[in-house]
């Protein structure tokens, strides 16, 4: 690390380790941008600076992030739950890091898959099988919880899906998003053993007051962005006597705002913030209660 970079990292600025490039990195940088935080250096370096808050980014491989946080080289990290959980379960010395908050992106599943030609009905069908995986600790924990005592894990760092054809294992345990890779290798999902998403992780010990203040500012901004992700601002006109019924239909909403409509006595405007899913689920009901001119707007941030 260049001297100027080292100096700048020792002056009480919070250090946040993020994946330098890969499946987590674009969404991580986009989330920081949505939080109003601009990353100042090119991502080709080991280190980048955020101007709006006293935060320095360490740009590293995702697998190193739990250890960097645990040993204090970094104060915080953004890492996939799969990597964090595997590291947590596989260490003899407990990891000195805990989840600060889930971040809602890079959602994927860790699944046990088997050749479709082999029947699979229940966990006990895995008895005596070899399972190729780069997540042996998570896989073994699942096998243990499900009473499968005599299955073995075979460590592979990639290309697990060819393991059954190579005769290395009868099953695999790997990340699945669409299932297309499994499908093209004649494999099907037997069990989901872990649901993963990106996590903000931090040390179990307390940060200095200065860094704690920066962490609070960061988590406040993150919560504001995450809260707005699935929320919509909904406006509609409705009969005045249907306000209570319509409010009940929008359960995700805080108390809706009811506004007079110029020149209309029997109708009002209702404005509410609610989850997009709730809205689609109840659209027909809203219309049947007399809602009209329904406008749905994106929300950039929700700060409370």
Burial class (CB in 10 A: 0-12, 13-18, 19+), 217: middle
Residue 63 or residue 197: which is nearer to Zn ion going by CB? 63
Q: Is the dihedral of CA 22, 27, 30, 36 positive or negative?
A: negative
Residue 101 or residue 302: which is nearer to ligand ATP going by CB? 101
Note the helical H segments in 99-208. Answer: 136-145, 163-166, 180-184
Q: Which residues contact 169 (CB under 8 A, 6 or more apart)?
A: 129, 130, 131, 132, 154, 163
Q: What is the DSSP string of 263-285?
A: TEEEEEEEEEEEEHHHHHHHHHH
User: How many Cβ atoms from other residues are within 10 Å of residue 21's Cβ?
Assistant: 12
Residue 70 or residue 82: which is nearer to ligand ATP going by CB? 82
User: Using CB under 6 A as the criterion, what x/- string covers residues 195-234 for binding ligand ATP?
Assistant: -x--------------------------------------
Cβ pair 97, 207 in contact under 8 A: no
Distance of CA 40 to the CA centre of its chain: 24
Query: 237: phi > 0 → left, psi -120 to 50 → alpha, else beta; which?
Result: beta
CA distance 45 to 59: 7
**Residue 39 touches ligand ATP, criterion: CB under 6 A:** no
Residue 143 or residue 176: which is nearer to ligand ATP going by CB? 176
User: Using CB under 6 A as the criterion, what x/- string covers residues 144-163 for binding ligand ATP?
Assistant: --------------------
Among 5, 34, 54, 63, indicate the residue that binds ligand ATP (CB under 6 A): 63
Partner touching 95 among ligand ATP, Zn ion, none, CB below 5 to 8 Å by kind? none
User: Using CB under 6 A as the criterion, what x/- string covers residues 90-129 for binding ligand ATP?
Assistant: ----------------x-x---------------------
What residues line the site for Zn ion (CB under 5 A)?
Answer: 62-63
Specify the stretch interacting with ligand ATP by CB under 6 A; choose among 10-18, 56-64, 143-151, 161-169. Answer: 56-64
Partner touching 82 among ligand ATP, Zn ion, none, CB below 5 to 8 Å by kind? ligand ATP
Partner touching 80 among ligand ATP, Zn ion, none, CB below 5 to 8 Å by kind? ligand ATP
Smallest gap from residue 138 Cβ to ligand ATP (A) = 12
Among 66, 80, 203, 256, indicate the residue that binds ligand ATP (CB under 6 A): 80
CA-based Rg of the chain, rounded to a whole angstrom? 25
Collapse the DSSP code of 102 into the 3-class scheme (helix H, G, I; strand E, B; otherwise coil) and give the result.
strand
| Footprint on this chain of ligand ATP (rule: CB under 6 A) | 19, 22-24, 61-63, 80, 82-83, 106, 108, 175, 177, 196
């Amino acid at each position: 690390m260049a001297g100027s970079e080292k100096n700048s990292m020792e002056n009480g600025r919070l250090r946040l380790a993020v994946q330098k490039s890969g499946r987590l990195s674009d969404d991580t940088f986009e989330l920081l941008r949505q939080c109003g935080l601009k990353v100042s250096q090119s991502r080709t370096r080991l280190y980048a600076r955020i101007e709006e808050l006293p935060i320095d980014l360490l740009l590293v491989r995702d697998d190193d992030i739990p250890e960097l946080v645990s040993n204090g080289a970094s104060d915080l990290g953004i890492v996939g739950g799969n990597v964090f959980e595997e590291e947590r379960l596989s260490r003899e010395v407990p990891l000195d890091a805990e989840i600060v908050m889930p971040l809602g992106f890079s959602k994927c599943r860790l699944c046990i898959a088997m050749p479709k030609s082999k029947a699979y009905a229940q966990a006990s069908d895995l008895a005596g099988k070899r399972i190729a995986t780069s997540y042996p600790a998570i896989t073994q924990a699942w096998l243990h919880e499900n009473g499968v005592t005599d299955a073995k894990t075979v460590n592979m760092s990639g290309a697990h899906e060819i393991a059954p054809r190579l005769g290395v294992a009868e099953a695999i345990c790997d990340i699945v998003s669409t299932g297309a890779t499994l499908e093209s290798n004649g494999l099907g999902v037997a069990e989901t053993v872990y649901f993963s998403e990106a996590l903000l992780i931090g040390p179990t010990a307390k940060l200095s007051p200065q860094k704690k203040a920066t962490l609070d500012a960061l988590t406040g901004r993150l919560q504001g962005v995450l809260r707005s992700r699935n929320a919509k601002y909904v406006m509609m006109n409705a009969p005045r006597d249907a306000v209570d019924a319509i409010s009940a239909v929008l359960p995700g909403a805080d108390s809706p705002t009811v506004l007079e409509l110029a020149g209309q006595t029997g109708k009002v405007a209702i404005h509410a913030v609610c989850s997009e899913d709730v809205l689609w689920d109840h659209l027909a009901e809203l219309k049947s209660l007399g809602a009209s001119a329904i406008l749905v707007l994106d929300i950039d941030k929700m700060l409370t």
